[in-house]
Amino acid sequence: MGVVIQVKIPSQVDKPDSCPAKPLIWELCLPPSPLLFSPAQNLLPAPVILPSVAELDLFRCFQSVLVHIQLLWELVLLGEPLVVVAPSPAMSSEVVLALASCLAPLKYCCDFRPYFTIHDSEFREYTTRRQGPPSVLLGVTNPFFIKVLQHWPHILRLGELRMAGDLPKQVKLKKPAKLKTLDTKTGLYTSYKAFLHKDKTLIKTLLKGIQKQRPSEAQNALLRRQLLELTQSFIIPLEHYMASLMPLQRTITPWKTPPRIRPFHQEDFLRSLEEAGPQLTCVLKGDWLALYRRFFKSPNFDGWFRQRHREMRHKLEALHLEAIAEADVGAWMMDKSEAEAVDLVLKLQEKLVQARSRGLPAREETLQRVGQHVALVAQSLPEDLRAILCGQETASAS
């Protein structure tokens, strides 16, 4: 048809809106492949990046639970087990996906099943009372689940969207003890008490927007922005504290192992909130400290911390490569033995291979310069050693 569609399946290390890294080539033993620089590539049109196939309408998904939107946000943030019982698979799927996405830009790191049935392999695991429910967002339609999942701490029972006057009927907050029959009325069944106070201004604005027939797109944009700002207010102090654990660039030297990232101490972070907490960017009052303490125990914190720590390690490796690229390798070689030169070649080869495989945030010219250092040191070695190192480099890159 004259159209080529190239699709990349995201991996665990990918970031939203990220693009695959360009191929990096350095001069040692590997000549540039003509396939990588084929003139035909210049004839291809510029790629069009679609960050998402579709964006969920959060307002439409949450319009019957607007008064509890912050409580639901906290439950999702803390990775609490939550069941969504909806009248249709489409509705259960949309609400579960909306819940998982309401933490953006923070990644939801727990499991979520938009449409779960009694035939799924985890049915026995999720319905057993011998152990606590896992951190899962579960979307179901079969009322039978209300009976077998009564031990789950949070159940959101939704009905068909009905209009009471000009406003959608808001589900009520109810105690789990009232969850007894298969025809249980709509409501949010939970004993959870929110750490943050309700944003009454947001709720009033959204409900008034319904009365004034504000377009759903505008309502969705308003709700999404408020949830985004709430998440950012929560996560920015964590980002600032995490950044403070990074070693200073001046402590990174070319011929020594880069310094380690300092450990994350929860109590140190909590003490820092007095001067640099979410109150600087968020008007909501509440027990932020207790919310952070609960968050530390959640899979979402573990996922966020691992990702940020990995990014910082990669940044350290990239800075170390820059220090090596700018170093005078000739001066280093003057008083070094043959064994030390071989050791350096092997270490730098490994660093270059890892830089490519891990997608380190290093400039191509930096990697090319390090590759030139490797070639320079290799040239000082006997020919037989050079041939062996060349063979190892080719094997590592293939």
pLDDT digits (tens, 9 = 90+) for 187-234: 899 999 999 999 999 999 999 998 888 998 999 999 999 999 999 999
Question: In angstroms, rounded to a whole number, what is the distance separating the alpha carbons of residues 276 and 240?
Answer: 9
Whether residue 306 contacts residue 345, with contact meaning beta carbons closer than 8 Å, is answered with no
Q: Which helix (H) or strand (E) holds 350?
A: helix 338-358
Question: In angstroms, rounded to a whole number, what is the distance separating the alpha carbons of residues 77 and 352?
Answer: 38
User: CA angle 228-290-294, nearest 5°?
Assistant: 75
Orientation of helix 69-77 relative to helix 216-244, angle to 10°: 40
Number of other CB atoms surrounding residue 340 within 10 Å: 13
Q: Token pair 């300092």 is at which residue?
A: 262
Whether residue 125 contacts residue 83, with contact meaning beta carbons closer than 8 Å, is answered with no
Residue 81 φ/ψ, nearest 5 degrees? -65, 125
For residue 84, give the nearest of 95, 73, 74, 97 by alpha carbon: 95
Whether residue 186 contacts residue 159, with contact meaning beta carbons closer than 8 Å, is answered with yes
Question: In angstroms, rounded to a whole number, what is the distance separating the alpha carbons of residues 280 and 263?
Answer: 25
DSSP state of 280: G
Give the N- to C-terminal CA distance of the chain in Å, as an integer.
Answer: 34
> Checking DSSP bridges between strand 82-85 and strand 173-174, what pairing results, if any?
unpaired
Q: Token pair 């009372």 is at which residue?
A: 129
DSSP state of 48: -
What does the pLDDT read at residue 38?
A: 40
What does the pLDDT read at residue 11?
A: 56
**What would the two tokens of residue 55 be?**
């964006």
What does the pLDDT read at residue 377?
A: 87
What does the pLDDT read at residue 27?
A: 35
What does the pLDDT read at residue 164?
A: 42
- Residue 38 Cα to chain centre, angstroms: 36
User: What is the average pLDDT value for the chain, to the nearest integer?
Assistant: 84
User: CA angle 314-318-320, nearest 5°?
Assistant: 115
Intervals of the chain under pLDDT 70: 1-54, 161-168, 177-184, 391-398
**Prior bond of 105 cis (ω within 30°):** yes
